[in-house]
Amino acid sequence: MTIDVLLGHDAVRIDDEVFTTLLDNSLAGTYRGYERALESGRIKYAELIDLSRKGDIPYSLFFAPLSLVQKQVETKTEKLLAGVSRDTFSIGSRSKVELRDVELIVKDLIRKQQLVRKHDSSLQRNTIVGLLRNDTPPVDADAARLMSAIGLSHDDLRACRTKTKALDLIIDRLEANQVLVSRSVQHYMPQRLSHVKFSGMTVRDNKVPYIFLAGGDHGDDQEPVGRTIFTLTLMAVLVARRIFAPMTWDGGSAEIDLGREYNIAGAMLMPTARVKALNPTSLDDMKAASDEFKVTASAVTVRAMRLGTITHETAGHYLDQLRGEFRTLPKGGPRSPIHPENAVRKYNGRELTVRMLHALDSGSISPGEFCRSICLNNLKPSRLDDLRRAVG
């Protein structure tokens, strides 16, 4: 099988496996021009050049032997994916994430890490990465140490009027410490996640590690914002433990041993002394405490069980009830469409966006390159003022 590359009235045939190998392993593989070429078996030379530029592919490789192309792609992928483990980090979950399911997003986030390192000389070595590598301190001590390092207190969280405000606060404090936070925005990422169920991932970098928060249904029947707060905190712990991998966790699991990372995250959001002072035992107690701690009632239930406030059997009963209640809640109507500048800000994270806008203003990066590399061509140069307003 071949693809005809059209140049005027002439056509040059290239191996369709070379074509798909190069584009399936790049951002350009998500563009409509690629799909049209596969459907028709033809592509204009100018369109091929455009796809190669979008995918950071030397266009001469389209005319190279398949064996050379496969070797080039393999070498590049190995180098890029050194920033994330191929093994899924799972807590109380049987789900496993294949790296190929999120590979283009990983590559894009790593590319952005490289860009901000290149264009921002003010970046310092990250103080959060590896902060909690030692297993000997008590869990509560590690929780307090990480909270202090990111400049977050329990009083700060309790003062937030809503869980959404609390989530924004945690993100702000992490990003103030050069831990970048990206959130899933369908249609504004280089890869669709509709068929993948996972919580998120951490991507290695000694200066600007990335946390990616997956959206959508995680299958454990919990209200989304409270769950996301625990997920984000748990992934901050992974960064501090120098663990970089796709992650899944079951937010309603009552397993006896959920691991040190889970316990540290629990102690950060639901401090031992406060949980014991509240002494939650009824389901209503769990719900009331969830509002104070800005997590789900399920998270409070598991934490109470682990601290001995309730039994494992009672916790399991409460978790079943909470799942049932969640399923009966009205799901609401269709969501309002997200403005492109807000989608770009959410997927990149505010900190990355602001730092790269500074690079744009200094002339270190051109408007066209900014729109291609940072906005994935979802914004044109004429819309960059909208992005500036979105990041404040």
pLDDT digits (tens, 9 = 90+) for 157-180: 999 999 999 999 999 999 999 999
- Strands ordered across the beta sheet of 2-7: 10-15, 2-7, 42-44
Q: What does DSSP say about strands 180-183 and 210-213: parallel, antiparallel, or unpaired?
A: parallel
Q: Cβ contacts of residue 146 below 8 Å, gap of 6+?
A: 128, 131, 132, 236, 237, 240, 264, 268
- Whether 256 has a pLDDT exceeding 90, the answer reads no
Q: Are 264 and 139 in contact (CB under 8 A)?
A: yes
Would you place residue 91 in the very low, low, confident or very high pLDDT band (cuts 50, 70, 90)? confident
Partners of residue 3 on adjacent β-strands: 14
Residue 184 region by backbone torsions, left for phi larger than 0, else alpha for psi between -120 and 50, else beta = beta
Q: What is the pLDDT of residue 293?
A: 97
Provide the 3-class DSSP secondary structure of residue 248.
strand
Q: Are 84 and 246 in contact (CB under 8 A)?
A: yes
Q: What is the pLDDT of residue 65?
A: 94
Q: Could you tell me which residue, 323 or 191, shows the higher pLDDT?
A: 323
Q: What are the φ and ψ backbone dihedral angles of 248, each rounded to 5 degrees?
A: -130, 145
Q: What is the pLDDT of residue 383?
A: 95
One-character DSSP codes across 9-20: TEEEEEEHHHHH
The DSSP element (H or E) to which 2 belongs, if any, is strand 2-7
Q: Stretch 70-76: mean pLDDT, rounded?
A: 87
Per residue in 313-348, pLDDT tens? Answer: 999 999 999 999 988 887 765 667 789 999 999 999
Q: Stretch 140-154: mean pLDDT, rounded?
A: 97
pTM, rounded to two decimals: 0.81
380: number of Cβ within 10 Å: 12
Q: What is the sign of the dihedral through the CA atoms of 186, 247, 288 and 152? A: negative
Nearest to 167 by CA among 222, 229, 231, 215: 229
Per residue in 371-388, pLDDT tens? Answer: 989 999 999 999 999 999
Q: What is the pLDDT of residue 27?
A: 66
Q: Cβ contacts of residue 255 below 8 Å, gap of 6+?
A: 92
Q: Are 374 and 115 in contact (CB under 8 A)?
A: yes
Q: Stretch 58-75: mean pLDDT, rounded?
A: 91
Would you place residue 220 in the very low, low, confident or very high pLDDT band (cuts 50, 70, 90)? low
Q: What are the structural domain ranges in the chain? A: 1-58, 83-328, 340-391
Average pLDDT along the chain: 90
